[in-house]
C-alpha cells in the first residue's frame, strides 16, 4: 500500500458534514496518512473549522489559513489582521490558498493582486510556505511572486494544470508544484508532459476535494482516498510504482509544510 499525503483538501466544507468519519476511514484504507486542510475565510469573523479539525486529529490533519482570491474583496481589515495572527500559530503549516483567478474575476483584479501580495508578506513574516491558487493568470502570478519574492519557507502552486513552460517558470522561482485529478483527464496531455519532466523532489499530489475528482470518479464528490488515482497516473508518467510516488511526494509535502 502506498504512503500518501493529500496536500490540499477542503474537508471542513459542508459537503462532508454527514460522513466525515467514513471519508477519513476510506482515506486511511487507501494509504493516505496525512491531509493538509485549507482553512479559508468564509464570512466576517469566520475562517471555517480546518484548524479545529487539525487540532482534534493532529496525526491525520494539518491546516493552513488564508484568504481566497474569490473572496478577498469582501474581507474586513480586522479579519486580515486575524489571518496574519493565525499564520503565526505553530499549528498552522501554511498561508493560503491565495493567488489570482482571472477566470471568474469574483474580486477585482487589482484587489486580488493586493491580497496576494499581503498574503505572501504574511507567510514571510510567519515563516510559513505560501499556497498559491492561479487560474488564467499565470503571467501576473509569476510577476507578483518574482516582485515579492517567494517566502524563505517556500511555496506551492496548488492544482497545477499548465504545460512545461509554465511549470519551469514556477520551478525557477523555487516553488513546488502540486497536481490533482486533472492529470487523469483525457484532455490534459500538456499537463502530463509537464509532470513527466518535473524534478521528482518538487512534486506534490492533492485532491482539492470536493472538487476535481480523478477518473474514474470524475463528476462526483472528490475525497482524499482518490489521491491514490492521481498518484497512479504520476507513477505511469514517471515509469515507476505508486508506492515510489507516494514515498517521494509525501517526503516533499513533509519538507514543504514541516510536517512531523
Count the neighbouring beta carbons within 10 Å of the beta carbon of residue 97.
25
Residue 89 annotated as binding?
no
Quick check: 112 and 101 in contact, CB under 8 A? Answer: yes
Residue 229 annotated as binding?
no
Measure the CA–CA gap between 45 and 148, rounded to whole angstroms: 28
Instruction: Count how many residues are written for the chain.
Output: 260
- Sheet strand arrangement including 176-179: 4-9, 32-40, 61-66, 92-101, 130-135, 155-157, 176-179, 203-205
Residue 68 annotated as binding?
no
Residue 133 annotated as binding?
yes
Residue 103 annotated as binding?
no
Residue 10 annotated as binding?
yes
Count the neighbouring beta carbons within 10 Å of the beta carbon of residue 220.
10
Binding-site members for a divalent metal cation are: 8, 10, 97, 133, 158, 208
Binding-site members are: 8, 10, 97, 133, 158, 208
Amino acid at each position: 500500500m502506498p504512503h500518501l499525503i493529500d496536500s490540499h483538501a477542503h474537508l471542513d466544507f459542508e459537503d462532508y458534514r454527514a460522513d466525515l468519519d467514513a471519508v477519513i476511514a476510506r482515506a486511511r484504507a487507501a494509504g493516505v496518512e496525512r491531509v493538509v486542510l485549507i482553512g479559508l475565510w468564509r464570512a466576517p469573523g469566520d475562517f471555517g473549522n480546518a484548524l479545529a479539525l487539525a487540532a482534534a486529529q493532529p496525526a491525520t490533519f494539518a491546516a493552513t489559513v488564508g484568504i481566497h482570491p474569490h473572496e478577498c474583496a469582501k474581507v474586513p481589515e480586522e479579519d486580515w489582521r486575524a489571518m496574519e495572527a493565525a499564520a503565526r500559530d505553530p499549528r498552522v503549516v501554511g498561508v493560503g490558498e491565495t493567488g489570482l483567478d482571472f477566470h471568474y474575476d469574483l474580486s477585482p483584479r487589482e484587489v486580488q493582486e493586493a491580497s496576494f501580495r499581503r498574503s505572501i508578506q504574511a507567510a514571510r513574516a510567519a515563516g510559513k510556505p505560501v499556497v498559491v491558487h492561479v487560474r488564467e493568470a499565470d503571467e501576473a502570478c509569476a510577476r507578483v511572486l518574482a516582485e515579492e519574492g517567494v517566502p524563505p519557507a517556500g511555496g506551492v502552486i496548488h492544482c497545477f494544470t499548465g504545460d512545461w513552460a509554465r511549470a519551469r517558470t514556477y520551478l525557477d522561482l523555487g516553488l513546488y508544484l502540486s497536481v490533482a485529478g486533472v492529470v487523469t483527464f483525457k484532455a490534459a496531455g500538456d499537463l502530463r508532459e509537464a509532470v513527466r519532466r518535473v524534478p521528482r523532489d518538487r512534486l506534490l499530489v492533492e485532491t482539492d476535494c470536493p472538487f476535481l475528482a480523478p477518473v474514474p470518479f470524475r463528476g462526483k464528490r472528490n475525497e482524499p482516498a482518490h489521491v491514490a488515482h492521481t498518484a497512479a497516473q504520476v507513477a505511469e508518467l514517471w515509469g515507476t510504482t505508486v508506492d515510489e510516488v507516494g514515498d517521494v511526494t509525501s517526503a516533499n509535502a513533509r519538507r514543504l509544510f514541516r510536517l512531523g
